[in-house]
Amino acid sequence: MKAVRPFPQKPDAIFKGTLCPLTLMDLNELWLLDLRVFTDGEAYERDTFRQLLTSPEVIARQIRNNNGHMVAFAIGIIEEDGIGHITTIGVAPEHRRRNLARIMLLSIEQGFSLCGVSTVRLEVRTDNKGAQQLYEEIGYTTTQLMRKYYSTGDDGYLMIKAISGRGWGF
Ligand SMILES: CC(C)(COP(=O)(O)OP(=O)(O)OC[C@H]1O[C@@H](n2cnc3c(N)ncnc32)[C@H](O)[C@@H]1OP(=O)(O)O)[C@@H](O)C(=O)NCCC(=O)NCCS
């Protein structure tokens, strides 16, 4: 397992809000935020979110600011092969570089780990260097180039991380 860089201390980037589960009740707000985050035509349909959030295999997180508005979201699902899959992650443009993505990913990984998941995968566009930097910093490694992976014809990288997968223990 790769070492994870400790959280940076950036007093100018302090964010106050709440990390909590993302549920079907949040569907409308999630969809609207997703449209703001993915401006490249790759935003999910409402029904895709609905399906994901009704699946028992999903572990999803959101961050709300102190005014109660959703500012970040991330969804992970345990696939049939037992691998944890981060399907989407987004942070409102005005709240980026405050560790919100990092916090949500680590929280979902924790949830995966409690379910016995020991490998997590995700896909990222080859030109999305910021996201790749984030994933590398928290322990993901690029394992494969996937040509024309995206519906827009863009190439993607497959990135993988090993986690403890300890399951429940008392
Ligand atoms: C990618 C995204 C989720 C990152 O969210 P974020 O909350 O800003 O990320 P974090 O603050 O947790 O980033 C932690 C670290 O990752 C790296 N990082 C994150 N975004 C970066 C960027 N745009 N450029 C370079 N490094 C970046 C940095 O090392 C950062 O630490 P630092 O700010 O101390 O330098 C956000 O930019 C986003 O929503 N982008 C649009 C949607 C998207 O691309 N989703 C991912 C699809 S695979």
DSSP secondary structure string for all residues of 73-119: EEEEEE-TTS-EEEEEEEE-GGG-SSSHHHHHHHHHHHHHHHTT--E
The model's confidence at residue 23, banded by pLDDT at 50, 70 and 90, is very high
Give nearest CA residue, ligand 1 atom 5: 101
Among residues 27, 19, 70, 79, the alpha carbon closest in space to that of 51 is found at: 27
Task: Give the integer Cα–Cα distance in Å for 163 and 139.
Answer: 9
Class of domain 2-162: alpha beta
Interval 71-107: pLDDT, tens? 999 999 999 999 999 999 999 999 999 999 999 999 9
Give nearest CA residue, ligand 1 atom 25: 130
pLDDT for 6 beyond 70: no
CB of 143 closer than 8 Å to CB of 156:
no
Phi and psi angles of residue 105, each rounded to the nearest 5 degrees, phi first: -65, -45
Q: How far is the CA of 91 from the centre of ligand 1 (A)?
A: 8
Q: How far is the CA of 38 from the centre of ligand 1 (A)?
A: 13
Question: Could you tell me the two tokens for 159?
Answer: 């990135």
What is the average pLDDT across 99-126?
A: 97
Give nearest CA residue, ligand 1 atom 20: 130
Mutational pocket test of ligand 1: of 30, 34, 97, 107, the residue with most ligand atoms within 8 Å of the beta carbon: 97
Q: CA angle 10-12-16, nearest 5°?
A: 90
Among residues 3, 19, 28, the alpha carbon closest in space to that of 111 is found at: 19
**Average of per-residue pLDDT values in the chain:** 93
pLDDT for 47 beyond 90: yes
Ligand 1: which atom is nearest the Cα of residue 98?
A: 11
* The pTM of the whole model exceeds 0.85: yes
Q: Which long-range contacts (CB under 8 A, 24 or more apart) does 3-8 make?
A: 3/139, 4/106, 4/137, 4/138, 4/139, 5/137, 5/138, 7/99, 7/102, 8/99
Ligand 1: which atom is nearest the Cα of residue 125?
A: 48
Q: How far is the CA of 100 from the centre of ligand 1 (A)?
A: 8
Domain residues of the chain, as ranges?
A: 2-162
Q: Name which residue leads in pLDDT, 75 or 166.
A: 75
Q: CA angle 10-15-17, nearest 5°?
A: 155
The model's confidence at residue 168, banded by pLDDT at 50, 70 and 90, is confident
